[in-house]
Amino acid sequence: MEGRDKAELKYRATEIYFTGYTITANLSSGALNACSYEAVSNSTTLWQISNPFLDATPFVTNLCSAILLIQLLFLLFHRLPRFFSELITGLLMGPMMLGANALFSEYTHPMRQTGATETLTNLGVIYYMFLVGLQMDLTTIRRISKGAWGNALFGILLPLGMGAGLFHLLPGKTHFENPLGAWFWSVALTVTSFPDLAQILSDLKLLRTEVGQMAISSAFVSDIASWSFLVVTITVSNGNTRAFILPTLAFILFCWFVLRPILSQIIDRDSSKGGNYSDLCIYSILTGVVVCGFITDACGSHSMIGAFMFGLIIPDGELGMMIMEKLEDFVPGIMLPAFFVLTGTRCNIIDMFSNINPFAVLGILVLACLAKIISGFLVAMYYGMPVREGVALGVLMNAKGVLALIILNVGRDIKAVDNQPFAIMVMTILLMTILVKPIPLWACKTTKHFRKYKLRTLQESKPNSELRILACIHTTRNLSGMLNLLELSNSTEKSPICVFATCLVGLSGRTNAMLIVHDENRNSSSQNYPPARGRSDADQIISTLENYERRNQSMSFLPLTVVSPYTSMHEDIHNLAEDKRVTFILIPFHKQSGAEGMQKENSSIRLVNQNLLAKAPCSVGIFIDRGLSLKIYNEGSHRREKLNFAMFYTGGHDDREALTYACRMAGSLNVSLKVIRFLPGKEAIEMMDMEEEVEGENQRFVDDMYLNELRFMTMCNPSVTWVDRSVNSGDEIIIAAKDLADEYDLYIVGRGQGMIKPFALGLSEWSNCEELGPLGDALSTSDFALHASILVVQQHSVSTMKNKGMPQHQEKAGLETWKSPLSSRDLLNIVNHRKKTDEEDD
């Protein structure tokens, strides 16, 4: 050995000596053995020489400290990926930070506890890779686009070459003598963590974008390729010949072609007994993870490879979800922190600058980060993507995770990577993680390919134009009523309807949010990346929608599935409505109807509805289905001649929007519509002050003009009748509606924005669900409308509308255009004139 190596070995032996170890060093081979000593008592009495709890305390303290520190850092840096907090925790507990303190090191991770920490680490890595395999579906490779394939391949080849080159720039002749070190470095650079990238794209709401689709598809290919490289590298490094890989390859083939079909049969047989999986089945699979890991370890590979392969062969379905629910909190939250602590203890930042210029280290860090960015940018330019989106794609491909650290730790375990390359690569991964969220967020916000979203309402739509509706479906109970409401929306050749039928699936646990598009070939693809598992209810909904589309040629359907947390599901619906230029969003009410009224309130769906009403980019309709589908069919398969609909009109832009949709439905041969307009009586007018009276006259002026237009348009349709009624309060509206009990199949009302004060005050006593508005809520809780469905419509904000309350196509029709509100003097004259007219009538 050289003098420098001997000195370093002597220093490390001295360092270990002070921790209570006996040192045996072989300077010729560089081997260093450290043997700990401890006092052992043979006494059988209660009092012994040593406290047995002292041996377990450092291990528990170490684990608890890591878990608490990860949670604290994640709260502070919640805008960065969680992996950043986990990696920083490991570095903070390493030799450069808290680990440098002798007292802290003695009570958290002393040398004698290294075996226990590594055991928990290896077990955590095994089960983590099992979860990764459980979430992957290799069959989706067939649906990956050419652009994603190109980005993945170029993103593998360029980092491989650059990683090998940068590794050989480090000082020391051992880098050339041991090429495995360069290979481990290169493979770590090629990794793009699929689970972490999916979570990042979900947080940034980029899953539906072109950048997100290409990135997630490329990451899937990159992960599979990195796993293949890792299997070959570990197996070859542990054996003397290349044929040493054959046992591992044979086990992988055995798992896929023999064990997978056997597992499918056993699992199907177990679930067919009662529809549920027994605990014996679940715990047998969890035991099989360790068994497969042991087999691959015995084959000369790594135990995590067997666990990953075992996760891949578990059949799709509820079983996978049940296993994930049992492991997803315990493995990443309890077992993996030990892995990050172990990584941190192996990483000493001082080693980075050993015998090398600090600027050279900085250059290596920057070039290592640029490898994926350059490859992604060049592929994006080739496919004509904007420059900033190309940069965002490259940065997203730098998303690292546990797999990259696993590769580096394996390389260090087999002595292919020493301290300096290990520390440099860990810091490179940390730098990539810091940049992976801010840069794509900035780039994609400034390069949104769609134009600024134009106000889209039913009232503003042209009569002979396509109507785009986004129909949201949570469960199969929403399906029939929603489909029949769409069928009654009167799709014609001049004004066809395009429906984006969206199945909404609540995200569970750590599953990643996604958008699944079901193409015309009936293949389900989540924008070319693996779909979520265990969603049989969603599959049934999509299958029903596809069958309905084949039977009904009057409307075009695009089935979609949105998998997202309920807290942010409204954002996915909002973005989808913007991308598809939707005019109207239909959402089901959060309460399910039964024989005795409302049943089973779903607070999660209610949260989605409330957020969507507040932030929707277009008009929204809440549909309360009380058997509308049952009333379309009367005896057998004979269609009923007419369905009776009632529109309660109290004034305001929400009511105008609801009336527009009602008149469209009245064009159907199966619909008879009665529009009942409630006007304020004398008592109601006397209750209003001058300002309210002026505002009411302003609103009434706009309503009169719009109603006159619709009456003119429907004058040749005998199915539409118009009735005016004077009422003085909201209570009288309910009394008038009660007189119509059991006459109508569907009530259509506005949400009530713009309703005059006397009406709103009378109906506020009925208020229980604000999302339905005063009148809609009163109808939903009334006994007389127990068997009638209700549609509550909210028009998108009119603050930016060009013509306050008037549709733009009125200008072309030659009608008087409402260009601005009336002046106060004109409104006062109108009020005084109407008062005088009412007195003369008396």
Same domain, 497 and 361: no
- Span 13-34, average pLDDT: 48
Out of 4-18, 264-278, 406-420, least confident range: 4-18
What backbone torsions phi and psi does residue 723 show, to the nearest 5 degrees? -135, 135
Dig out the tokens for 9 from the structure: 């070995």
Q: What pLDDT, on a 0 to 100 scale, did the predictor assign at position 375?
A: 92
Q: Which residues pair with 499 in a beta bridge?
A: 469, 557
- Could you tell me if residue 7 is inside a domain? no
Between CA 141 and CA 529 the distance in angstroms is: 8
Q: What pLDDT, on a 0 to 100 scale, did the predictor assign at position 801?
A: 39
Percent of the residues in the chain that have a pLDDT greater than 70, as a whole number: 72
Amino acid 393 reads L
- Could you tell me if residue 815 is inside a domain? no
- Could you tell me if residue 639 is inside a domain? yes
Percent of the residues in the chain that have a pLDDT greater than 90, as a whole number: 25
> Which letter, b or e, does each residue of 159-176 get, where b requires 16 or more Cβ atoms within 10 Å of its Cβ?
bbebbbebbeebebeebe
Amino acid 707 reads L
Same domain, 493 and 575: yes
Between CA 237 and CA 13 the distance in angstroms is: 28
What backbone torsions phi and psi does residue 541 show, to the nearest 5 degrees? -65, -45
8 A C-beta contact, residue 500 and residue 558: yes
Same domain, 391 and 471: no
Q: What pLDDT, on a 0 to 100 scale, did the predictor assign at position 754?
A: 62
Q: What is the CB-side half-sphere exposure of residue 573 using CA atoms within 13 A?
A: 37
Same domain, 345 and 481: no
Q: Which residues pair with 677 in a beta bridge?
A: 649, 724
Between CA 703 and CA 756 the distance in angstroms is: 12
| pLDDT tens, position by position, 336-351 | 998 998 898 888 888 8
- Span 277-282, average pLDDT: 82
Between CA 246 and CA 243 the distance in angstroms is: 6
Dig out the tokens for 513 from the structure: 């949010």
What backbone torsions phi and psi does residue 684 show, to the nearest 5 degrees? -65, -40
Between CA 794 and CA 773 the distance in angstroms is: 9
Expressed as residue numbers, the domain containing 112 is 57-445
Percentage helix, strand, coil for the chain under 3-state DSSP, each rounded to 5: 55, 10, 30
CA dihedral 498, 501, 507, 508 (to 10 degrees): -170
Q: Is the pLDDT of residue 324 over 60?
A: yes
Q: Which one of 445, 464, 480 terminates a domain? A: 445
8 A C-beta contact, residue 201 and residue 193: no
- Give residue 742's pLDDT band: very low, low, confident or very high (50, 70, 90): low
Q: How buried is 98 (Cβ within 10 angstroms: 0-12 exposed, 13-18 middle, 19+ buried)?
A: middle
Let me know the angle formed at the C-alpha of 117 by 116 and 121, rounded to the nearest 5 degrees: 120
Q: What is the CB-side half-sphere exposure of residue 274 using CA atoms within 13 A?
A: 4
- Could you tell me if residue 297 is inside a domain? yes
- Give residue 413's pLDDT band: very low, low, confident or very high (50, 70, 90): confident
- Could you tell me if residue 841 is inside a domain? no
CA of 377: how far to CAs of 383, 388, 394, 814, in Å? 10, 9, 6, 53
- Could you tell me if residue 274 is inside a domain? yes
Between CA 148 and CA 762 the distance in angstroms is: 60
- Going by C-alpha positions, the residue among 807, 754, 779, 737 that lies closest to residue 624 is 779
DSSP state of 674: E
- Could you tell me if residue 765 is inside a domain? yes
8 A C-beta contact, residue 245 and residue 235: yes
What backbone torsions phi and psi does residue 816 show, to the nearest 5 degrees? -65, 130
CA dihedral 111, 115, 120, 126 (to 10 degrees): 130
The average confidence (pLDDT) of the chain is: 77
Between CA 115 and CA 342 the distance in angstroms is: 11
Q: What is the CATH number of the domain that holds 87?
A: 1.20.1530.20
Same domain, 436 and 474: no
8 A C-beta contact, residue 648 and residue 749: yes
Amino acid 359 reads F
Q: Is the pLDDT of residue 216 over 60?
A: yes
Q: What pLDDT, on a 0 to 100 scale, did the predictor assign at position 818?
A: 34
Q: What is the CATH number of the domain that holds 466?
A: 3.40.50.620
What backbone torsions phi and psi does residue 218 show, to the nearest 5 degrees? -65, -35
Between CA 774 and CA 209 the distance in angstroms is: 39
| Three-state secondary structure call for residue 571 | helix
Q: What pLDDT, on a 0 to 100 scale, did the predictor assign at position 84?
A: 94
Same domain, 647 and 600: no
Instruction: Report which of residues 564 and 270 the model is more confident about.
Output: 564
> 839: which residues sit within 8 A by CB, 6+ positions away?
none
- Going by C-alpha positions, the residue among 370, 307, 365 that lies closest to residue 155 is 370
| Three-state secondary structure call for residue 39 | coil
Q: Which residues pair with 591 in a beta bridge?
A: 601
Between CA 785 and CA 775 the distance in angstroms is: 12
Same domain, 363 and 384: yes
- Span 236-248, average pLDDT: 72
Tell me the angle at which helices 279-298 and 114-134 cross, rounded to the nearest 10 degrees.
Answer: 110
Same domain, 575 and 637: no
Q: Which residues pair with 725 in a beta bridge?
A: 678
- Give residue 300's pLDDT band: very low, low, confident or very high (50, 70, 90): confident
Dig out the tokens for 299 from the structure: 């084959």
Between CA 781 and CA 795 the distance in angstroms is: 23
Q: Which residues pair with 516 in a beta bridge?
A: 561
Q: Which one of 582, 598, 623 terminates a domain? A: 623
8 A C-beta contact, residue 778 and residue 736: no
Q: Is the dihedral of CA 547, 552, 558, 563 positive or negative?
A: negative
- Going by C-alpha positions, the residue among 430, 411, 420, 433 that lies closest to residue 348 is 420
Same domain, 413 and 472: no
Spell out the alpha helix ranges (H) of 168-302.
174-177, 179-190, 194-204, 210-238, 246-254, 260-271, 279-298
Q: What pLDDT, on a 0 to 100 scale, did the predictor assign at position 103?
A: 53
- Give residue 156's pLDDT band: very low, low, confident or very high (50, 70, 90): very high
Task: Count the Cβ atoms, other than its own, within 10 Å of residue 612.
Answer: 23
Between CA 748 and CA 764 the distance in angstroms is: 19
Same domain, 183 and 331: yes
- Could you tell me if residue 830 is inside a domain? no
Q: What is the CB-side half-sphere exposure of residue 153 using CA atoms within 13 A?
A: 7
| pLDDT tens, position by position, 523-582 | 444 433 334 443 456 677 777 877 777 777 778 888 888 877 888 888 888 888 887 889
The total number of structural domains that make up the chain: 3
Q: Which residues pair with 746 in a beta bridge?
A: 645, 789
- Span 205-220, average pLDDT: 84
Q: In sequence order, what DSSP letters do the residues of 282-336 get, joined into one string?
A: HHHHHHHHHHHHHHHHHTTS-HHHHHHHHHHTSPSSHHHHHHHHHHTTHIIIIIH
Q: Which one of 623, 641, 663 terminates a domain? A: 623
Dig out the tokens for 371 from the structure: 């490898």
Same domain, 567 and 666: no
| pLDDT tens, position by position, 592-651 | 765 454 557 788 899 999 999 988 889 999 999 887 764 554 444 445 557 889 999 988
- Give residue 239's pLDDT band: very low, low, confident or very high (50, 70, 90): low
8 A C-beta contact, residue 700 and residue 670: no
Contacts of 13-22 with CB under 8 Å at 24 or more apart are 16/111, 19/110, 19/111, 20/111, 20/112, 21/111
DSSP state of 532: P
Q: Which residue has the tokens 């075992």?
A: 310
- Going by C-alpha positions, the residue among 505, 483, 508 that lies closest to residue 560 is 505
Q: What pLDDT, on a 0 to 100 scale, did the predictor assign at position 233?
A: 82
Q: Which residue has the tokens 């590769």?
A: 407
Q: In sequence order, what DSSP letters do the residues of 761-773 get, joined into one string?
A: HHHHTT-S-GGGH
Same domain, 146 and 188: yes
| pLDDT tens, position by position, 656-696 | 999 999 999 998 888 889 999 888 877 777 777 667 667 77
CA of 791: how far to CAs of 198, 315, 613, in Å? 37, 42, 14
